[in-house]
Structure 1
C-alpha cells in the first residue's frame, strides 16, 4: 500500500471535477493514450514529440510523473488531493489509467478514485506530513515517515498519528513549506530571488555541510523546486532564484523553466550568472537532478564575482599607467567592447615594451592573461596565482567578471585556518589543566570501563568528554576556578558543536559572529590558566 498526491491543476482548478466525478486527473493533453507505453523511454519519446520546444530536463521530469500516474499507482493505493480551501481530500484508487480523448474542456488522462473523506482539516495533519504534501509536482509519492499508514488513518476519519520517531522531529521542517508557498504565489515573470545565506537559513543552517546539502536537495526534489544557479555554487552571499521546475505545462503547453528563459522581464530579476544556469538546466540530458557537489569553486571567492577595474582596447598606455598608480595595481585587464579579455598590461610588460620602443602603445604592452571559469575548482588555480600573482575570472559568456590575486588566496585560506588554530589552543589548555589538577583514575572514570586502560592522560579524551569530566563536583573543585560552572560547561558544549562543524567540509568561511563563542571560551581559559 502506497500513498500518492495527485494535484488537480497548478492552482487546483480541476478539483471540482475531481471530487464530483471521483477522478484523479492530470494535464499534458497534447499526449495521446499512454496505455501502450510500457517503459519510461516510451513515454519520454512521446513527451519529447508532443512538446518539441522543451529541453531534456523538463521532458525527463514530466516523463517521471506520467510514468508514476500510469504504471506505479496501483488499485488500492491511497490518493491525496490538497484543496484550495486549505483542506485535504483522501481516497482510494479503484481504477487503472484511462484516456479520455473526447473530453474537450478537461484533462484526457484520468484514474478512478473513491473519495473516503473530502474535508480533512490540515490542523489534524502533523507538520512533517503537510510539508511532504508541499511539492509543486503534479504526481508524487508520499514515502517518508510512514506516510502511507498515516494517510490511512486520515482516510478513516482519525487524526494523523505522527511519524514513528516524532520525538526527534525538528520544528524547523515547517520552514521549507513557507519557501514553497512563496514560490507558488509568485508569477512566472517574478521568480523568488534571495542570497544563498538566506536560503540556507530556511533550513536552519549557516554553512553548506554535506549533510545539510543532501537534506536541502532532497527537500527541493520532493517539492519540484530547483535553484538557479545551484545553491552549491558561488559565494554564500551570491544570489539564486528558486523556481517550480516540476510543475505541469501551462495552457500554452510550456514549462516554468522554458517560460523563464523566454521572458526578458523574468530574466531581469535574476543574478548575472543565473541565465546560464537555467540554460544548463534546460539542456540537461536527463530528468534526474544533476550533480550539485559542494567544492571550492573559483566563484566561492568574493573577488571572483566583483568586476575588476580595466582599460579598453584602444585606450592609451598613459591611461593604464595612471589607473595603476592611482589604485596601486600591479596589472590591469584589457577588455574589448563586449567585455571579453584581450590581454593584461602590467608594470613588467610596460617596461619590456618601452625597452623595445620608448613610444610603445597599450597594444604593444599588452600580454596574454590567465583566465579561469567561475565553475573551475579553485585548488586547480592556486599554482597559477602563486606564480603569476593573479588570475582573471570569466562568466558563461566568456566576459570578465572577477579577478583573484595572491592576496585574495591569503585571506581565503587564512580565514579557514584560523578556527582550527583557535580550537586547537582550547583543547591544549583543557588537556594541560586536567592533567595538572585531576588524578588519572578520575580521568579514566569518564570513559567506558573497556576503554579506561587506553587512557593515559587527558590527551586520550574526546572533546565531548571534558563536559562530563568537569561536571563532577570534586573534579571541578580541583581546578580551583572562581567562575560559574554551568556557564562554563554551556560554553564548552557550544564549542564542541562548533568544533564538530569544522570537521565537516564546507566551502563557506566561518564568520566573525560564528567565531565569537569559541574566542570567548579561549579568553576565559587564558585568564584561568595564564601560563604560556
Structure 2
C-alpha cells in the first residue's frame, strides 16, 4: 500500500494526454515521462513568461489564429511552469483505463527524440490500470476535456486522485450530498419533499436530481417524463431543472400546495428562505421564480448558463484600483483582459493589454480609468448561447451577468472551442464506425444479400451499404454466410452485442441534450471502433 500522500498540502492534480489518439502512450509509460506534442517548437526551457511562450508558438505556427495560439500557450505554460514535482498526473489510456503518476522532474527538451516526443517531464507511474468504474462520474467528467494539458481543480480532485493512486476507490466530492444518494427512485423524492417544511425545502444538484430517475443527461424524452412525473405529484423545481449545468443547484418544492397562513405559496416564499444555499437563491431570482401553470415550460436549450465559465465569477479589479494591480493579475494569470467592476458588482468596463497600450501612448501616466473600455457586451445567463457565438469570436470574450445585472461569469473563445469540440467528438467517432462498416460490407457481401437484409419495400433503393440504416448491419451480419464472408477472427455474438449498444448510443445522440457526453458513455462506441480498426486496419 502506498503511503505517499499524507500531508498533501498544496499538491495539485493534472491530466496530460498522450496525443489525440493515445499515440504517445507507450513511450510515456515505458520511459516514465509526460509528453507534450507541438513538435514545431524548439527548446522552451529558457522561456520564463507566457508572453515568451506565446511568441514562440505564434512563430512556429504562423497560420493559426490568436485564439488557438492563446489556448496552446496556456497548455504549454502549465506543462513547463505550473506543474511541479510532487504533483499528481492522470493519463487516460486507450484501454479505457487510467494511469496515475507523481511528477519527479522539471521540463526538458529532447532534441534528438522523434517528433512529438521532445517536450517531456519525468514522472513515476504509481498505478497504470485504474478501472474507470472506481471513479465517480463528476471526476470522470472533469477528465473529459479535449485539451492535452489541464488541471483537475474542482470537487477535491487532488485528494481523490491520490486515493485512486493508493488503490482505493474514489471517495467522491468532499461537498457531495450524501442524502441525495439515498433518493434512488421518484417515490422517495416525493416523500422527502412532503416531509420537509416549506422553509427548509429539498435542494440538490441537477446531476443528483436526474439520478433519481436513473439518467445522466437531459434528453427530450427524459425531461418530458420527469416533468410529467413532477406535475402528477404537484412538484416543481426552482429554477427549472432544464437550465444550468449538471452541477447547478435546484430546489424541489410542493408547487401545488395551498398557501400558508400568510397567503403565499411555497414558490413565492423561496426567495426569502434562509434554508437555501446562496446559489439556489440567486438562480431562483434569475429564473424569475416560476411561470404560470399554463405558461410554456422552458425548453432544454444551449443556454449561456450551460457553460461552466458562465457560472464562475471571473477575477476582476474595482473602480479606483491601481492600473498596476490589473497588469499584475493579467501577467500572473495569463489574461488578455479583466472586467472593472463598480462597488455593487455591476460592470464599469474592461481593461485589456490593447486598451492599456492606447492609454499609455496618449499619457505615459494613464491610470486604470483611462485604460478602461466602456460598454463591453454583457449576456444574460438565460440567453441562448448560439446568439452570442459571433460576439465571442469577434471580441474574444463576452461577460455574463445575473438577474441584478451583476457580473457572474466570463465566456471566452477557448470556452466555446472546448464546449463544441466535446460535442462534436461523439459524432466523429460514430461516423468512422459507419464508414468502416460500409467499406467492409461493400467489399465482402454481394448486393443481393444486402437487399435481403432490409424490408421488401425498401430493397430496390439499396444500391450499396451506404443505403443501409445503422440498425440494418445487425440484421445483415446475424446471417451466418454474411458473417463468414467477412473472415474476421472475432466472436460474432460479442460483436453483434457491441453493435447494438452502439446503435442505441447513436440514436441517443440524435436527440438533443444540453449535457456533454462523458467518457464512460463514449466507451462502448470507442471499444467497437478499436475492434473495427483491428480487424480492418485499412485507412
- The 5 A counterparts of 1:437-456 are 437-456=444-463
Question: Which digits, 9 at most, give the CA deviation of each residue in 1:43-101, with x for residues without a partner?
Answer: xxxxxxxxxxxxxxxxxxxxxxxxxxxxxxxxxxxxxxxxxxxxxxxxxxxxxxxxxxx
RMSD: 1.7
Matched, 1:275 2:284: yes
Matched, 1:522 2:529: yes
Residue aligned with 1:241, SS: strand
Residue in structure 2 matching 1:222, options 215, 219, 232: 232
Q: Is the 8 A contact 1:224 1:245 kept in 2?
A: yes
Q: Is the 8 A contact 2:303 2:381 kept in 1?
A: yes
Matched, 1:393 2:410: no
Output the CA distance in 1 between the equivalents of 2:268 and 2:457: 62
Taking structure 1 as the reference length, the TM-score comes to 0.65
- The 5 A counterparts of 1:129-140 are none
Q: Is the 8 A contact 2:268 2:289 kept in 1?
A: no
Q: CA deviation at 1:267?
A: 3.4
2:332 is aligned to: 326
- The 5 A counterparts of 1:286-325 are 286-325=292-331
Q: Is the 8 A contact 1:261 1:279 kept in 2?
A: no
Unaligned runs of 5+ in 1: 1-172
Residue in structure 1 matching 2:508, options 501, 516, 525: 501
Q: CA deviation at 1:451?
A: 1.7
Q: CA deviation at 1:431?
A: 0.6
Matched, 1:413 2:420: yes
- The 5 A counterparts of 1:459-498 are 459-498=466-505
Q: 1:339 to 1:174 in 2, by over 3 A?
A: closer
Q: CA deviation at 1:269?
A: 6.2
Q: CA deviation at 1:212?
A: 1.7
Output the CA distance in 2 between the equivalents of 1:476 and 1:490: 14
Question: Which digits, 9 at most, give the CA deviation of each residue in 1:243-295, with x for residues without a partner?
Answer: 111112334543222333333x22346525333057532xx4x4425421111
Q: 1:272 to 1:358 in 2, by over 3 A?
A: farther
2:18 is aligned to: none
Q: 1:249 to 1:278 in 2, by over 3 A?
A: farther
Output the CA distance in 1 between the equivalents of 2:440 and 2:482: 11
Size of the aligned set, in residue pairs, is 356
Matched, 1:177 2:187: yes
Residue in structure 2 matching 1:210, options 207, 220, 233: 220
Residue aligned with 1:266, SS: coil
Output the CA distance in 2 between the equivalents of 1:268 and 1:216: 24
- The 5 A counterparts of 1:82-97 are none
Instruction: Give the stretch that moved more between structures: 422-431 or 236-245.
Output: 236-245
Which consecutive aligned stretches of 4+ in structure 1 deviate over 3 angstroms post-superposition? 250-254, 267-270, 277-280
1:241 is aligned to: 251
Q: CA deviation at 1:362?
A: 0.3
Matched, 1:373 2:363: no
**Which has more radius of gyration?**
1
Matched, 1:340 2:346: yes
Q: CA deviation at 1:449?
A: 1.7
Q: Is the 8 A contact 1:331 1:346 kept in 2?
A: yes
Unaligned runs of 5+ in 2: 1-182
Residue aligned with 1:363, SS: coil
Output the CA distance in 1 between the equivalents of 2:278 and 2:200: 7
2:23 is aligned to: none
Output the CA distance in 2 between the equivalents of 1:469 and 1:332: 59
Q: Is the 8 A contact 2:399 2:410 kept in 1?
A: yes
Output the CA distance in 2 between the equivalents of 1:192 and 1:280: 16
Q: CA deviation at 1:426?
A: 0.2
Output the CA distance in 2 between the equivalents of 1:289 and 1:199: 23
- The 5 A counterparts of 1:37-186 are 175-186=185-196
1:109 is aligned to: none
Q: CA deviation at 1:341?
A: 0.9
Instruction: Give the stretch that moved more between structures: 349-358 or 251-260.
Output: 251-260
Q: Is the 8 A contact 2:319 2:341 kept in 1?
A: yes
Q: Is the 8 A contact 1:229 1:273 kept in 2?
A: no
Residue in structure 2 matching 1:258, options 262, 268, 274: 268
Q: 1:512 to 1:315 in 2, by over 3 A?
A: same
Matched, 1:512 2:531: no
Q: 1:269 to 1:244 in 2, by over 3 A?
A: farther
Output the CA distance in 1 between the equivalents of 2:281 and 2:307: 16
